[in-house]
Amino acid sequence: MPLLEVKNLHVNVGGTEILKGVDLAVNEGEIHAIMGPNGSGKSTLAQTISGHPAFEVTDGDIVYGGESLLGKKPEERACAGIFLAFQYPVEIPGISNSLFMKSALNAIRRSRGLQELDAFEFLELIKEKANTVEMDEALLSRSVNSGFSGGEKKRNEILQMAVLEPRLGILDETDSGLDIDALRIVADGVNSLRAPHRAMIIVTHYQRLLNYIVPDFVHVLNGGRIVRSGGKELALELEEKGYSWLEEEALARS
Protein backbone atom coordinates (compact mmCIF):
# COMPACT_ATOMS: atom_id res chain seq x y z
CA MET A 1 0.00 0.00 0.00
CA PRO A 2 1.45 3.42 -0.93
CA LEU A 3 2.13 5.88 1.90
CA LEU A 4 0.27 8.57 0.00
CA GLU A 5 -2.35 8.10 -2.66
CA VAL A 6 -3.92 11.07 -4.40
CA LYS A 7 -6.98 9.98 -6.35
CA ASN A 8 -8.75 12.05 -8.98
CA LEU A 9 -8.19 15.18 -6.88
CA HIS A 10 -10.17 18.27 -7.80
CA VAL A 11 -9.44 21.46 -5.86
CA ASN A 12 -11.03 24.90 -5.97
CA VAL A 13 -9.47 28.09 -4.74
CA GLY A 14 -11.76 31.09 -4.42
CA GLY A 15 -14.27 29.47 -6.79
CA THR A 16 -11.75 28.64 -9.51
CA GLU A 17 -10.86 25.02 -10.19
CA ILE A 18 -7.07 24.66 -10.02
CA LEU A 19 -6.59 20.89 -9.82
CA LYS A 20 -8.70 18.96 -12.26
CA GLY A 21 -8.19 15.32 -11.42
CA VAL A 22 -4.70 14.58 -10.10
CA ASP A 23 -3.57 10.99 -9.45
CA LEU A 24 -0.35 10.26 -7.63
CA ALA A 25 1.00 7.38 -5.55
CA VAL A 26 4.06 7.74 -3.34
CA ASN A 27 5.64 4.82 -1.53
CA GLU A 28 7.86 4.92 1.54
CA GLY A 29 11.48 5.63 0.70
CA GLU A 30 10.70 7.34 -2.59
CA ILE A 31 11.42 10.85 -3.74
CA HIS A 32 9.00 12.34 -6.24
CA ALA A 33 9.59 15.60 -8.06
CA ILE A 34 6.60 17.60 -9.23
CA MET A 35 7.49 20.01 -12.00
CA GLY A 36 5.49 22.30 -14.16
CA PRO A 37 5.11 25.85 -15.39
CA ASN A 38 3.89 28.70 -13.17
CA GLY A 39 0.22 28.43 -12.36
CA SER A 40 0.02 24.72 -13.14
CA GLY A 41 -1.19 23.86 -9.62
CA LYS A 42 2.06 22.58 -8.03
CA SER A 43 1.76 24.64 -4.84
CA THR A 44 -1.98 23.99 -4.68
CA LEU A 45 -1.26 20.27 -4.54
CA ALA A 46 1.32 20.76 -1.76
CA GLN A 47 -0.96 23.01 0.30
CA THR A 48 -4.01 20.80 -0.18
CA ILE A 49 -2.18 17.72 1.10
CA SER A 50 -1.13 19.66 4.21
CA GLY A 51 -4.68 20.93 4.76
CA HIS A 52 -4.63 24.67 4.08
CA PRO A 53 -8.22 25.87 4.70
CA ALA A 54 -8.29 28.06 1.57
CA PHE A 55 -8.10 25.00 -0.71
CA GLU A 56 -11.40 23.25 -1.18
CA VAL A 57 -11.46 19.63 -2.32
CA THR A 58 -14.49 19.24 -4.59
CA ASP A 59 -13.88 15.69 -5.74
CA GLY A 60 -11.51 12.79 -5.27
CA ASP A 61 -9.54 11.80 -2.18
CA ILE A 62 -6.16 11.96 -0.51
CA VAL A 63 -5.34 8.76 1.35
CA TYR A 64 -2.38 8.75 3.70
CA GLY A 65 -1.30 5.70 5.65
CA GLY A 66 -4.54 4.01 4.63
CA GLU A 67 -6.79 6.82 5.90
CA SER A 68 -8.45 9.69 4.10
CA LEU A 69 -7.02 13.08 5.02
CA LEU A 70 -10.16 14.94 4.00
CA GLY A 71 -11.81 16.46 7.06
CA LYS A 72 -8.61 16.26 9.08
CA LYS A 73 -7.21 19.50 10.49
CA PRO A 74 -3.76 20.63 9.38
CA GLU A 75 -2.35 19.97 12.86
CA GLU A 76 -3.74 16.42 12.79
CA ARG A 77 -2.04 15.84 9.47
CA ALA A 78 1.19 17.27 10.88
CA CYS A 79 0.96 14.99 13.90
CA ALA A 80 0.44 12.06 11.53
CA GLY A 81 3.82 12.89 9.98
CA ILE A 82 3.14 15.25 7.09
CA PHE A 83 5.54 18.16 6.84
CA LEU A 84 5.38 21.08 4.42
CA ALA A 85 8.48 23.18 3.80
CA PHE A 86 6.86 26.49 2.84
CA GLN A 87 7.64 28.39 -0.31
CA TYR A 88 7.31 31.58 1.74
CA PRO A 89 8.14 30.76 5.37
CA VAL A 90 6.04 32.88 7.73
CA GLU A 91 7.52 35.32 10.26
CA ILE A 92 6.28 35.09 13.83
CA PRO A 93 7.69 37.96 15.91
CA GLY A 94 8.09 37.44 19.64
CA ILE A 95 8.50 33.67 19.60
CA SER A 96 11.98 32.27 19.53
CA ASN A 97 12.76 29.83 16.80
CA SER A 98 13.78 27.17 19.27
CA LEU A 99 10.67 27.59 21.46
CA PHE A 100 8.57 27.28 18.32
CA MET A 101 10.26 24.06 17.28
CA LYS A 102 10.07 22.68 20.81
CA SER A 103 6.32 23.42 20.95
CA ALA A 104 5.84 21.75 17.58
CA LEU A 105 7.89 18.68 18.42
CA ASN A 106 6.18 18.25 21.78
CA ALA A 107 2.71 18.72 20.26
CA ILE A 108 3.50 15.93 17.83
CA ARG A 109 5.01 13.73 20.54
CA ARG A 110 1.96 14.29 22.76
CA SER A 111 -0.35 13.23 19.97
CA ARG A 112 1.57 9.96 19.72
CA GLY A 113 1.55 9.31 23.44
CA LEU A 114 5.29 9.96 23.76
CA GLN A 115 6.95 11.80 26.62
CA GLU A 116 7.63 15.48 25.88
CA LEU A 117 11.25 16.57 25.68
CA ASP A 118 12.42 18.91 28.40
CA ALA A 119 14.46 22.05 27.70
CA PHE A 120 17.81 20.28 28.06
CA GLU A 121 16.97 17.30 25.90
CA PHE A 122 15.59 19.61 23.26
CA LEU A 123 18.64 21.87 23.33
CA GLU A 124 20.89 18.92 22.68
CA LEU A 125 18.72 17.76 19.79
CA ILE A 126 18.39 21.16 18.16
CA LYS A 127 22.13 21.85 18.30
CA GLU A 128 22.89 18.60 16.59
CA LYS A 129 20.27 19.22 13.89
CA ALA A 130 21.36 22.83 13.36
CA ASN A 131 24.78 21.49 12.54
CA THR A 132 23.49 19.34 9.72
CA VAL A 133 22.01 22.35 7.89
CA GLU A 134 24.97 24.60 8.82
CA MET A 135 22.62 26.91 10.68
CA ASP A 136 24.16 29.55 12.94
CA GLU A 137 23.00 28.80 16.50
CA ALA A 138 22.24 32.49 16.99
CA LEU A 139 19.26 32.03 14.67
CA LEU A 140 17.72 29.60 17.16
CA SER A 141 17.13 32.31 19.74
CA ARG A 142 15.86 34.86 17.22
CA SER A 143 12.12 35.17 16.52
CA VAL A 144 10.81 32.65 14.00
CA ASN A 145 11.98 33.75 10.52
CA SER A 146 11.96 37.43 11.58
CA GLY A 147 14.65 39.30 9.72
CA PHE A 148 16.06 36.06 8.30
CA SER A 149 17.55 36.26 4.79
CA GLY A 150 15.84 34.25 2.07
CA GLY A 151 18.46 31.51 2.36
CA GLU A 152 18.21 31.41 6.17
CA LYS A 153 14.44 31.01 5.97
CA LYS A 154 14.72 28.04 3.63
CA ARG A 155 17.41 26.46 5.75
CA ASN A 156 15.19 26.97 8.77
CA GLU A 157 12.47 24.98 7.00
CA ILE A 158 14.86 22.09 6.42
CA LEU A 159 16.00 22.34 10.05
CA GLN A 160 12.39 22.02 11.20
CA MET A 161 11.95 19.02 8.95
CA ALA A 162 15.06 17.45 10.50
CA VAL A 163 13.72 18.10 14.01
CA LEU A 164 10.18 16.86 13.34
CA GLU A 165 11.30 13.80 11.32
CA PRO A 166 8.18 13.47 9.16
CA ARG A 167 7.11 10.36 7.25
CA LEU A 168 6.18 12.54 4.30
CA GLY A 169 8.14 15.71 3.60
CA ILE A 170 6.78 18.11 0.98
CA LEU A 171 9.16 20.81 -0.25
CA ASP A 172 7.29 23.63 -1.97
CA GLU A 173 9.73 25.44 -4.29
CA THR A 174 12.40 25.33 -1.63
CA ASP A 175 14.99 26.16 -4.29
CA SER A 176 13.43 29.45 -5.38
CA GLY A 177 15.55 32.43 -4.52
CA LEU A 178 18.55 30.42 -3.33
CA ASP A 179 22.10 31.02 -4.49
CA ILE A 180 24.22 28.05 -5.39
CA ASP A 181 25.83 27.64 -1.95
CA ALA A 182 22.51 27.78 -0.13
CA LEU A 183 21.06 25.36 -2.65
CA ARG A 184 23.84 22.89 -1.89
CA ILE A 185 23.33 23.20 1.87
CA VAL A 186 19.58 22.71 1.56
CA ALA A 187 20.06 19.74 -0.74
CA ASP A 188 22.60 18.17 1.62
CA GLY A 189 20.11 18.56 4.44
CA VAL A 190 17.36 16.91 2.43
CA ASN A 191 19.65 14.09 1.29
CA SER A 192 20.67 13.39 4.88
CA LEU A 193 16.96 12.89 5.66
CA ARG A 194 16.49 10.27 2.94
CA ALA A 195 15.42 7.10 4.68
CA PRO A 196 13.65 3.86 3.79
CA HIS A 197 10.61 4.79 5.87
CA ARG A 198 10.37 8.37 4.67
CA ALA A 199 8.97 9.73 1.42
CA MET A 200 9.44 13.17 -0.09
CA ILE A 201 7.67 15.27 -2.66
CA ILE A 202 9.77 18.03 -4.16
CA VAL A 203 7.87 20.75 -5.93
CA THR A 204 10.10 22.76 -8.22
CA HIS A 205 10.00 24.90 -11.28
CA TYR A 206 13.59 24.28 -12.37
CA GLN A 207 15.63 21.18 -12.93
CA ARG A 208 18.58 22.70 -11.05
CA LEU A 209 17.65 21.38 -7.59
CA LEU A 210 17.37 17.89 -9.03
CA ASN A 211 21.09 17.94 -9.80
CA TYR A 212 21.56 17.76 -6.05
CA ILE A 213 18.55 15.77 -4.94
CA VAL A 214 18.08 12.90 -7.33
CA PRO A 215 14.42 11.89 -7.54
CA ASP A 216 13.05 8.43 -8.18
CA PHE A 217 10.15 9.80 -10.18
CA VAL A 218 9.37 13.02 -11.98
CA HIS A 219 5.82 14.20 -12.72
CA VAL A 220 4.85 17.12 -14.85
CA LEU A 221 1.79 19.05 -13.79
CA ASN A 222 0.14 21.25 -16.35
CA GLY A 223 -3.29 22.83 -16.36
CA GLY A 224 -4.27 21.06 -13.16
CA ARG A 225 -3.43 17.54 -14.32
CA ILE A 226 -0.34 15.37 -14.32
CA VAL A 227 0.49 15.23 -18.03
CA ARG A 228 3.53 13.05 -17.89
CA SER A 229 5.42 10.88 -15.43
CA GLY A 230 8.82 9.31 -15.77
CA GLY A 231 12.21 8.73 -14.18
CA LYS A 232 14.85 11.34 -13.39
CA GLU A 233 15.70 11.70 -17.11
CA LEU A 234 12.37 13.42 -17.66
CA ALA A 235 13.65 16.41 -15.72
CA LEU A 236 16.64 16.73 -18.03
CA GLU A 237 14.41 16.45 -21.06
CA LEU A 238 12.23 19.26 -19.71
CA GLU A 239 15.27 21.42 -19.04
CA GLU A 240 16.30 20.99 -22.65
CA LYS A 241 12.94 21.38 -24.37
CA GLY A 242 10.96 23.56 -21.94
CA TYR A 243 7.37 23.06 -20.88
CA SER A 244 5.96 24.25 -24.20
CA TRP A 245 7.06 21.00 -25.73
CA LEU A 246 4.55 19.14 -23.54
CA GLU A 247 1.82 21.60 -24.30
CA GLU A 248 2.36 21.17 -28.02
CA GLU A 249 2.32 17.43 -27.57
CA ALA A 250 -0.93 17.64 -25.64
CA LEU A 251 -2.45 19.77 -28.37
CA ALA A 252 -1.31 17.31 -31.01
CA ARG A 253 -2.94 14.49 -29.09
CA SER A 254 -6.26 16.16 -28.67
Partner 1 sequence: MPTANETIERLTSQDYKYGFVTEIEEDSVAPGLNEDIIRLISHKKGEPEWLLDWRLKAYRNWQTMEEPKWSNVTYPPIDYDAVVYYSAPKQIAKRPGSLEEVDPKLLETYERLGIPLRERGALAGVAVDAVFDSVSVATTFKAQLAKLGVIFCSFSEAVRDHPDLVRKYLGSVVPYADNYFAGLNSAVFSDGSFCYVPKGVRCPMELSTYFRINAAQTGQFERTLIIADEGAYVSYLEGCTAPMRDRNQLHAAVVELIALDNAQIKYSTVQNWYPGDKEGRGGIYNFVTKRGKCAGVNSKISWTQVETGSAITWKYPSCILLGDNSIGEFYSVALTNNYQQADTGTKMIHIGRNTRSTIVSKGISAGHGQNTYRGLVQVAKKAEGARNYSQCDSMLIGDQCGAHTFPYIDVRNPSGQVEHEACTSKIGEDQIFYCNQRGISTEDAVSMIVNGFCKQVFRELPMEFAVEAQKLLTVSLEGSVG
Three-state secondary-structure class, residue 27: coil
Q: Does 160 bind partner 1 (CB under 8 A)?
A: yes
Q: Does 164 bind partner 1 (CB under 8 A)?
A: yes
Among 58, 111, 149, 229, binds partner 1 (CB under 8 A): 111
Q: Least Å distance between CB 229 and partner 1?
A: 27
Among 7, 10, 20, 52, binds partner 1 (CB under 8 A): 52
Instruction: Using the minimum distance from each CB to partner 1, give the nearer residue, 81 or 210.
Output: 81
Q: Where are the alpha helices (DSSP H) in 21-62?
A: 42-50
Instruction: Using the minimum distance from each CB to partner 1, give the nearer residue, 92 or 119.
Output: 92
What does R_g of the chain's alpha carbons equal in angstroms? 18
Q: Least Å distance between CB 81 and partner 1?
A: 10
Q: Does 60 bind partner 1 (CB under 8 A)?
A: no
Instruction: Using the minimum distance from each CB to partner 1, give the nearer residue, 37 or 65.
Output: 65
Closest CA to 47 of 165, 171, 152: 171
Instruction: Using the minimum distance from each CB to partner 1, give the nearer residue, 122 or 243.
Output: 122
Q: Least Å distance between CB 212 and partner 1?
A: 25
Q: Where are the alpha helices (DSSP H) in 53-206?
A: 74-79, 97-111, 119-132, 138-141, 150-164, 180-192
Burial class (CB in 10 A: 0-12, 13-18, 19+), 28: middle
Alpha-carbon distance of 152 to 85, in angstroms, equals: 13
Name the β-bridge partners of 73. Answer: none
Q: Does 51 bind partner 1 (CB under 8 A)?
A: yes
Three-state secondary-structure class, residue 58: strand
Alpha-carbon distance of 201 to 165, in angstroms, equals: 15
Q: Does 78 bind partner 1 (CB under 8 A)?
A: yes
Instruction: Using the minimum distance from each CB to partner 1, give the nearer residue, 83 or 243.
Output: 83
- CA-to-CA dists, residue 62 to 21, 22, 71, angstroms: 12, 10, 10
Among 18, 34, 79, 139, binds partner 1 (CB under 8 A): 79
List interacting residues with partner 1 (CB under 8 A): 50-53, 71, 73-75, 77-79, 83-84, 86, 89-95, 99-101, 103-105, 107-108, 111, 143, 160, 164
